[in-house]
Structure 1
Amino acid sequence: MTSVLKAFAIGCVLAPSLVSVHADAADTDLIKRGEYLAKAGDCAACHTVAPGKPFTGGLKMITPMGAIYSTNITPDPDVGIGRYSEEDFRRAMREGVARDGRNLYPAMPYPSYAKVNDDDMRALYAYFMKGVASVKQPNRESDIKWPLNMRWPLKFWNMVFLDKGAYQNKPEHDVAWNRGAYLIQGLGHCGSCHTPRGVAFQEKALDESGRAYLSGGPVDNWFASNLTGDHNAGLGRWSDADIGQFLKTGANQHASAFGSMTSVINNSTQSMTDADVGAIARYLKSLPAQGGAGGPAYSYDPKATRVSLARPANNAGSRVYTTYCMHCHGVDGRGFAPMLAPLADNPNVLEKTPLSLINVTLNGTEDIVLGGVPAPYPMPKYAPVLNDQQIADVLTFIRAGWNNGAPAVDAAEVAKLRKATHAAR
């Protein structure tokens, strides 16, 4: 056999294996990309509950009709999504319809995922089918009673409130702005928490064309912060670098993460590329001021507060602050950022609703975990230590202190939230 024929014969033998190697490499790359996108979408926040295995569901979510529980999205064929075709997967993600035709509750942010493009959907499907371990953990039925648990009305909800179609780049903006808009409006589903909802539980806006978009709203007994350019309660005083630092570490010179944002930092944004974090910052900084408490721009003034702290016997809130708060947050209210959050000039303190301040004082914060290492100095819980009036007094003092100028807190508000957060456990 001539050398040419030998080479041809060897090529015929090796060609299938070479194709297989290339296919496996492409498959691996697709799965890896899908893993990154799943982190960008923070899928673990709802579908992984410690100490359970990844993506097995079970997270309790409170709705006006009762509690629902996130589902198993591992590739188990019986209780997970193992029997889903790619088309089934896309339909569930974009339209909120399960493989068996059941409508999903809009706690699943499919109005946001509707904007995810086909290439990213394909990568996500590859990851959840081939990159996630299959676990046979049964799903838990919702606590919603009949007839409110009937799902067919959601078909009409979708007809009214679901905008179909993947995100389309806006040519008047650059690549970074469009990438940030795509991530925030789509996979990041930031509007699910940070946009107020209407009477039908719909987000009042799905992008920057609506005035309410990302202007903040109540969710799970917290107030998801205003992400628009509002000077006091929003991101008006934050630089792009401030936003990037917060997304990567959960804290910056202005504020620290709390509530469900802790999970976002732990499971999602700290793992995102600098380019994507920068794009998110670019988009957010383009949003005009909306929501907020109004009034003049904040100006730091510690004089009156220092006098009050020097004579705590004259003020109930000052007494609580000097006993329990001052050693971390300081006489000047500036804390030791980013390790310990400032209270002066903090957007969450300046927000007109005290919901998050009450909750974090009652229940503290979960650990921010960066690279597997818990950050020091989490906020402790004071529900067992302080009564409703004491918490109202100290928060009123903080919201008035250092020229914050935010409204007082009533003990009845504290009592209501204490009861609600205790019942949610």
Structure 2
Amino acid sequence: MTISLAAHGEALDASASPGKRLAVAADCVACHSTTGGKPFAGGYPLASPMGVIYSTNITPSKTAGIGHYSQADFARAVRDGVTPDGTHLYPAMPYTSYAQMTDSDVAALYQYFMQEVTPVDTPSPKTELAFPFNIRASMLGWNALFHSSKRFEADPGKSEQVNRGDYLVNALGHCDTCHTPRNLLMGAKNDKALSGGSLGAWYAPNITSDKTSGIGAWSSDELVAYLRSGHVEGKAQAAGPMAEAVENSLQYLDENDLKAIAAYLLQTPAVANGERQARHTFGQASDDELSLRGGKPQDNPGWHIFSGTCANCHQANGQGTREYPSLFHNTTTSHRDNLIATIVYGVHREVDGVAIDMPGFGPDALFTDRLDDQQIADVTNYVLSRYGNAELSATAADVAQVRAGGAKAPIAVLAQFGPPTLIALVLLALYWLRARRRRQEA
């Protein structure tokens, strides 16, 4: 589900206020609006390992939104995840990143929401998680372990451009929220910052400067082009949550900010994940259309699905067209789950008013061939073997898992054994984390 920023009247022009520009850079509209709904009225369902979390109404409505918030109340909610009545927000709201925001930026953001956003008096749905995740007071302990109230400080050893990029990536843009792996308690593994993280059905890849596992082999111009459009020939195309970020936020940032993000990412500490080949370098054109035509479907079911369903747009040899990307030298086709998710859900983003759409082919497809889990696994394996990472493979169970929202997080699995088991294991994890922190401090 993508939320068009332009459809909500938020596209930037020269007259846009500083607060509006900050709201776009922070991508507030994506999570706090629904398709067809009023901007910032909340109700967007955020799938989390603990259950569905509904975003809140952040319009200046005094009955359903934040119209009664003082600037101090607003700052505490944005940077510490605590509302005026003491309710703790779940970290699906990226306050752990927004905590770094400067006082002046928080003040400008507050002025924007209070003075420029239209109030909507409709309350958003209430989040109802299962026990023990419904105990919001538990966030006190979580915050003590994983939340810092430290504001952003420029590194005097870095350039002004790199420091600006640092602020955009780790504070306003909260890229670390998706691209940093999580531990047992869903806290960020900051020692492996930006090295890739699970997003349910999707995977946010490694964006450190490592030349094989990350984006170290990309040029600054390629990164800027990708951030602005979601497309770089011979490298990658944005889908899923990244497509939303491009559509609602990144395409509206000015060139200097995009260059700053690229400069920061290209100098981050390289984190290797064990890959032997950069994910955009796999595959080549295929001549299977000539060699396999006329064969029995059961002999190569993946190719038959590809030939009948995919080749019309991506071409029989996988090289794509001007409108449709090549399947080789494409980061999506070198990652099993992202490839499955792309086939199931499709690709949807709008850049410069032009819609880029690939329909989904899952069981719920409305206007395309409906492929079952085995068929999706078959075509996934064909694409992986010809155009992507041939060392990977998919099963019908893998497809079912992606359609169900991805692998369950360990903490959600533990919760199935009952509260006593979960509490005991969480206490052990807390003890281990505390001991580790003491060792690091020592």
Per-residue CA deviations over 1:196-219 (Å, capped at 9, x if unaligned) read: 1111111111xxxx2x21112111
Question: TM-score scaled by structure 2?
Answer: 0.81
Per-residue CA deviations over 1:265-307 (Å, capped at 9, x if unaligned) read: 121111111100110011112234425451145756637x425
| 1:229 match | 209
Q: Distance in 2 between matches of 1:416 and 1:162?
A: 31
| 2:341 match | 359
2:331 counterpart letter in structure 1: P
Question: TM-score scaled by structure 1?
Answer: 0.84
Residues 127 and 301 of structure 1, relative CA distance in 2, 3 Å threshold? closer
Per-residue CA deviations over 1:12-64 (Å, capped at 9, x if unaligned) read: xxxxxxxxxxxxxxxxx998100000000000010011211110000111222
| 2:350 match | 369
8 A contact 2:200–2:405 mirrored in 1: no
Q: 1:318 aligns with which of 287, 303, 321?
A: 303
> Is 2:333 aligned against 1:349?
yes
1:375 counterpart letter in structure 2: A
Larger deviation, residues 237-246 vs 125-134: 237-246
What RMSD in Å do the two structures reach over aligned CA positions?
2.2
8 A contact 2:327–2:388 mirrored in 1: no
Q: Distance in 1 between matches of 2:338 and 2:239?
A: 8
| 1:240 match | 220
> Is 2:275 aligned against 1:294?
yes
Q: 2:194 aligns with which of 211, 214, 218?
A: 214
In the TM superposition, 1:15-414 aligns within 5 A as 32-205=17-190, 210=191, 212-232=192-212, 234-253=214-233, 254-297=235-278, 302=284, 305-307=286-288, 310-311=291-292, 313=295, 314-336=299-321, 339-351=323-335, 354-366=336-348, 368-371=349-352, 373-376=353-356, 378-384=357-363, 385-402=370-387, 404-414=389-399
Larger deviation, residues 45-54 vs 143-152: 143-152
2:207 counterpart letter in structure 1: L
Q: Distance in 1 between matches of 2:174 and 2:209?
A: 19
1:381 counterpart letter in structure 2: G
Residues 399 and 236 of structure 1, relative CA distance in 2, 3 Å threshold? farther
Residues 410 and 215 of structure 1, relative CA distance in 2, 3 Å threshold? same
**In the TM superposition, what is the alpha-carbon distance from 1:395 to its structure 2 partner?**
1.1
Residues 341 and 234 of structure 1, relative CA distance in 2, 3 Å threshold? farther
8 A contact 2:318–2:387 mirrored in 1: yes
Per-residue CA deviations over 1:354-373 (Å, capped at 9, x if unaligned) read: 2221111012122x2223x2
Residues 103 and 332 of structure 1, relative CA distance in 2, 3 Å threshold? same
Per-residue CA deviations over 1:315-351 (Å, capped at 9, x if unaligned) read: 32222222222232234433236x3222212223223
**Overall identity of the aligned pairs, in %:** 38
Instruction: Give secondary structure in 1 for the equivalent of 2:347.
Output: coil
Larger deviation, residues 398-407 vs 289-298: 289-298
Q: Distance in 2 between matches of 1:139 and 1:393?
A: 41
Please tell me whether Structure 1 or Structure 2 has the larger radius of gyration of its CA atoms.
Answer: 1
8 A contact 2:282–2:330 mirrored in 1: no
Larger deviation, residues 396-405 vs 384-393: 396-405
Residues paired across the two proteins, number:
381
**In the TM superposition, what is the alpha-carbon distance from 1:403 to its structure 2 partner?**
6.4
Q: Distance in 2 between matches of 1:112 and 1:243?
A: 22
8 A contact 1:309–1:331 mirrored in 2: no
Q: Which runs of 5+ in 2 are unaligned?
A: 1-13, 364-369, 407-442
